[in-house]
Chains A and B, each alone.
Chain A
Amino acid sequence: MKRFSGIVVCIFVLGLFTSHLLAQDVLKLGIPLPLTGTNAKFGEIEKKSYEIAMEEINAKGGIKGKRVVLEFEDSQGKPEISRSIVERLIDVKKQPVIFGEYSSSSSKAVAAVAEERKVPYLVVTGATDDITQQKYKYVFRMNPTNAYYATGFMSFLKEVVKPKTIAILYESSDFGTSGAEDMVKQAQKAGMKVLVKEQYEKGAVDFKPILSKVKAARPDVIYMVSYVMDAALLMRQIKELRIDANLYAGGAAGFAIPEFIQNAKEASDLVVTATLWSPQVAYPGAREYAEKYKKLFKNYPSYHGAEAYSALYLIKDVLERAKSWKSDDIRTAFKATNMMTAFGPVKFEDKEGYTNQNFMDTLVMQVISGKHETIWPAKYASTKYVYPIPKWRDRK
């Protein structure tokens, strides 16, 4: 009797599983991502975020009733491998829409394939300007490009700080130089005078000589493009020299992560930084996603994670709105997108030489009592900005 009931239970359970599987159609989506190699860290963050989004979507009935199954394919951060992965996804698996990849170079390779095969491709993180400047019809990009990275910061300067002069310090690498060049252009466009533009070798111990020079020039804004350790050293030595500018600003990277505050301590107070996204921004779902990610993986996700998480929701939105899952119908649906995601508003526009590009306000964060707070644009702010900032002498 016992044995019999055991078998019955077994059959019952098995039946449950199979019926569950059969009843629900499955939508398999392949995503190229660098899961090994130097970009693996970012690939990992994105993978986890896609998975969080997948579970949420499946819990609410999937996409058009189909259960979503994501299949991650390791592109090792190499464009040629991304290319062949996507060729297989389109030619063999007949996937109706492509999305994913991390680096600009890989995204560019995928974009070329997608355009050639006439399959819509959503760029999630690649930020090089020219991806959406090639008049590609089937390539859409949800993240702001490099050139628009500082738009939020510039509007904060224009409306709140109103500076006349700026000093720019940057690391002598690709990242530092391009960031500084962009800022020079933006500053000149905004009518600011660049008083000092100095590069430094990464790993420098003592910034006081160039900082003294900055001090002598008395700029309104000090803008720095650095990685985290240099960022902390710079602010510490600025405090040490009591350089009183109206605003201290960092170009994301080193200034936007919690380690900056841990290392620079009170010297990091009221420092402002441009960023694409932050865990406490007031976009719907952003905080919930960030907290969920933190609970699962102990750290807050970077903006790459938020981009990936929102990308799957965007894909769901597009696929549900499309008349059919033929390329051109999906493309039309992409074009008509106007949605709010955890990463921010998404809407694809053709302007200023870009095609199918999402233009959104980037954010500005400020370190307020030892924490990064979103302060700009005002409607997405988590706290009101602190400005003017007190002189070093008057601080505790």
Chain B
Amino acid sequence: MAQLELFLQTLISGFLLGGLYALIALGMALIMGVMRVINLAHGDFMMIAMYIAYWMFTLFGIDPYISVFIAAPALFLFGLFIQKYLLTPVMKVESILPHNQVILTVGLAMVFSNLATVLFTGNYRSTPVNYASSAWYLTDYWKNSPIELSLSMPWTISFIIAAIITVGLWIFLTKTDTGKSIRATSQDLDAALLMGVNVNWVRMVTLGIGLVLVACAGCLFLPIYYLYPALGKQFTNVGFVIAVIGGMGSTDGALIGGLILGIFESLTATYIGMGWAPAGRFAIFVAALVFLPGGVASIIKKWRLGK
């Protein structure tokens, strides 16, 4: 029984963690798909959103979940700005390296984390919300349950909001004109250009939306985690690994890839050792590249074609 309890509890944690990971990776995959750019500043954008949420909480007492509505629009505008004045100009520059923009995102990441250190010091910060360690317990609802499982309240709220945002993104991409233009650009850039899609505008919006997603992820992470200027790198890594597992540029793949990584990390922590989690993350990354180069997306595609 104890073993079953351990396994189920691990699965629950992994699933909740995976949902949040997926939200980070979604933005990265979207940007990757449309712009063919690996955004290596992704985690640092998340850090910025978290600082916004942190100050809203500390100065005005605004709950980090409410800050989603402040941080997300802020980062959307920031994304438009960065695409228009930084990424697009760089794209036109001739260079021996094909990925000037990727290098630019690395530069941005450094600037952001250093700037945050200068402005806010390197101190660790957090928003001690009242519900931080609240949870629902199986035995509270089912008195004679042989096992005890718990469901953390902030983790679950974060997961549900992440799910809502993901559904919102899906509706946006499939039902609206802008969404369709984004998908068209992602599938075939030249064709989209010929069909009269304003590709530059699409790129701006895509970066904006990508950052909105990661900003939401930041606000959802804040109540269950903490914050410091160099936090970005860790989450850029997570996003990147998931994007590779999911199949680069595929949003469906990112969603499934996120859940896979979350559950995988939890299982590693329980059955092998938590110190192995980072090593496990890269093992699965390499395995995905070698054995499944197209990622989860290629499986989805095959399954759809087969039907």
Chain A residues in the interface with B (C-beta under 8 A): 172, 198-201, 203-210, 212-213, 215-216, 228-229, 232-233, 235-237, 239-242, 262-267
A181 to B12, CA, bound (A): 32
The reply to whether B226 and A263 contact each other, CB–CB distance below 8 Å, is yes
Which of A205, A232, A236, A262 counts the most chain B CB atoms within 10 A? A205
Please name all residues of chain A whose beta carbon is closer than 8 Å to the beta carbon of B226 when the two chains form the complex.
229, 232-233, 263
For the A-B complex with A206-B17, A208-B12, A237-B152 known, give 20 more contacts whose Cβ atoms are closer than 8 Å: A198-B274, A198-B275, A200-B277, A201-B277, A205-B224, A208-B152, A209-B9, A212-B5, A212-B6, A212-B9, A216-B6, A229-B126, A236-B132, A236-B133, A240-B135, A240-B152, A242-B137, A263-B128, A265-B128, A265-B132
B156 to chain A, nearest CB (A): 11
A213 to B267, CA, bound (A): 11
Please name all residues of chain B whose beta carbon is closer than 8 Å to the beta carbon of A266 when the two chains form the complex.
133
Please name all residues of chain B whose beta carbon is closer than 8 Å to the beta carbon of A203 when the two chains form the complex.
231, 234
Please tell me if B176 contacts chain A, counting CB pairs below 8 Å.
no
The reply to whether A216 and B126 contact each other, CB–CB distance below 8 Å, is no
Please name all residues of chain B whose beta carbon is closer than 8 Å to the beta carbon of A172 when the two chains form the complex.
275
A200: contacting residue among B5, B17, B152, B274, CB under 8 A: B274
Interface residues as binary, B268-282 with A (CB distance below 8 Å gives 1, 0 otherwise)? 011001110110000
Please name all residues of chain A whose beta carbon is closer than 8 Å to the beta carbon of B231 when the two chains form the complex.
203
Which of B132, B150, B273 counts the most chain A CB atoms within 10 A? B132
The reply to whether B133 and A204 contact each other, CB–CB distance below 8 Å, is no
Please name all residues of chain A whose beta carbon is closer than 8 Å to the beta carbon of B128 when the two chains form the complex.
262-263, 265
- A-B residue pairs in contact (CB < 8 Å), sample of 24: A199-B273, A200-B275, A200-B277, A201-B275, A203-B231, A204-B277, A208-B10, A208-B152, A209-B14, A209-B270, A210-B270, A212-B6, A213-B270, A215-B6, A228-B124, A229-B126, A232-B126, A232-B226, A235-B133, A241-B135, A263-B226, A264-B133, A265-B128, A265-B130
Q: DSSP majority for the A interface?
A: helix
B6 to chain A, nearest CB (A): 5
The reply to whether B133 and A239 contact each other, CB–CB distance below 8 Å, is yes
B127 and chain A: residue at smallest CB distance? A263
For chain B, residues 1 to 45, give those with C-beta under 8 angstroms from any C-beta of chain A: 2-3, 5-6, 9-10, 12-14, 16-17
B278: contacting residue among A201, A205, A235, A263, CB under 8 A: A201
Please name all residues of chain A whose beta carbon is closer than 8 Å to the beta carbon of B225 when the two chains form the complex.
205, 233
Please name all residues of chain B whose beta carbon is closer than 8 Å to the beta carbon of A267 when the two chains form the complex.
132-133
A208: contacting residue among B9, B126, B273, CB under 8 A: B9
The reply to whether A242 and B150 contact each other, CB–CB distance below 8 Å, is yes
The reply to whether B124 and A241 contact each other, CB–CB distance below 8 Å, is no
Please name all residues of chain B whose beta carbon is closer than 8 Å to the beta carbon of A262 when the two chains form the complex.
128
A172 to chain B, nearest CB (A): 5
The reply to whether B133 and A237 contact each other, CB–CB distance below 8 Å, is yes
Please name all residues of chain A whose beta carbon is closer than 8 Å to the beta carbon of B224 when the two chains form the complex.
205
Please name all residues of chain A whose beta carbon is closer than 8 Å to the beta carbon of B277 when the two chains form the complex.
200-201, 204
The reply to whether B132 and A212 contact each other, CB–CB distance below 8 Å, is no
Interface residues as binary, B237-279 with A (CB distance below 8 Å gives 1, 0 otherwise)? 0000000000000000000000000000111011001110110
A212 to B148, CA, bound (A): 11
Would you list the 7 A-B pairs with minimal beta carbon distance, nearest first? A209-B269, A208-B13, A236-B133, A209-B270, A200-B274, A199-B275, A212-B9
B221 and chain A: residue at smallest CB distance? A205
Please name all residues of chain A whose beta carbon is closer than 8 Å to the beta carbon of B137 when the two chains form the complex.
242
A176 to B223, CA, bound (A): 25
The reply to whether B270 and A212 contact each other, CB–CB distance below 8 Å, is yes
Please name all residues of chain A whose beta carbon is closer than 8 Å to the beta carbon of B273 when the two chains form the complex.
198-199, 210
A378 to B266, CA, bound (A): 42
Please name all residues of chain A whose beta carbon is closer than 8 Å to the beta carbon of B278 when the two chains form the complex.
201
Interface residues as binary, B220-238 with A (CB distance below 8 Å gives 1, 0 otherwise)? 0100111000010010000
The reply to whether A209 and B10 contact each other, CB–CB distance below 8 Å, is yes
A373 to B214, CA, bound (A): 42
The reply to whether B150 and A204 contact each other, CB–CB distance below 8 Å, is no
B5 to chain A, nearest CB (A): 7
The reply to whether A209 and B274 contact each other, CB–CB distance below 8 Å, is yes
A204 to B281, CA, bound (A): 13
B139 and chain A: residue at smallest CB distance? A393
B274 to chain A, nearest CB (A): 4
A222 to chain B, nearest CB (A): 15
A242 to B5, CA, bound (A): 13
A201 to B133, CA, bound (A): 21
Please name all residues of chain A whose beta carbon is closer than 8 Å to the beta carbon of B267 when the two chains form the complex.
209
A300 to B234, CA, bound (A): 33
A239 to B137, CA, bound (A): 12
Please name all residues of chain B whose beta carbon is closer than 8 Å to the beta carbon of A216 when the two chains form the complex.
2-3, 5-6
A99 to B307, CA, bound (A): 80
A133 to chain B, nearest CB (A): 31
A200 to B274, CA, bound (A): 5
B9: contacting residue among A233, A236, A241, CB under 8 A: A241
A199 and chain B: residue at smallest CB distance? B275
Please name all residues of chain A whose beta carbon is closer than 8 Å to the beta carbon of B14 when the two chains form the complex.
209
The reply to whether A207 and B274 contact each other, CB–CB distance below 8 Å, is yes
Interface residues as binary, B105-117 with A (CB distance below 8 Å gives 1, 0 otherwise)? 0000000000000
A201 to B231, CA, bound (A): 14
B266: contacting residue among A201, A209, A241, CB under 8 A: A209
A215 to B148, CA, bound (A): 11
Please name all residues of chain B whose beta carbon is closer than 8 Å to the beta carbon of A213 when the two chains form the complex.
6, 270
Known: A205-B224, A210-B274, A213-B270. A229 touches B13 (CB 8 A): no
For chain B, residues 184 to 236, give those with C-beta under 8 angstroms from any C-beta of chain A: 221, 224-226, 231, 234
A329 to chain B, nearest CB (A): 47
Please name all residues of chain B whose beta carbon is closer than 8 Å to the beta carbon of A233 when the two chains form the complex.
225-226
A204 to B277, CA, bound (A): 9
A161 to chain B, nearest CB (A): 24
Please name all residues of chain B whose beta carbon is closer than 8 Å to the beta carbon of A263 when the two chains form the complex.
126, 128, 226
A212 to B5, CA, bound (A): 8
A212 to B266, CA, bound (A): 11
Please name all residues of chain A whose beta carbon is closer than 8 Å to the beta carbon of B134 when the two chains form the complex.
240
Please name all residues of chain B whose beta carbon is closer than 8 Å to the beta carbon of A199 when the two chains form the complex.
273-275
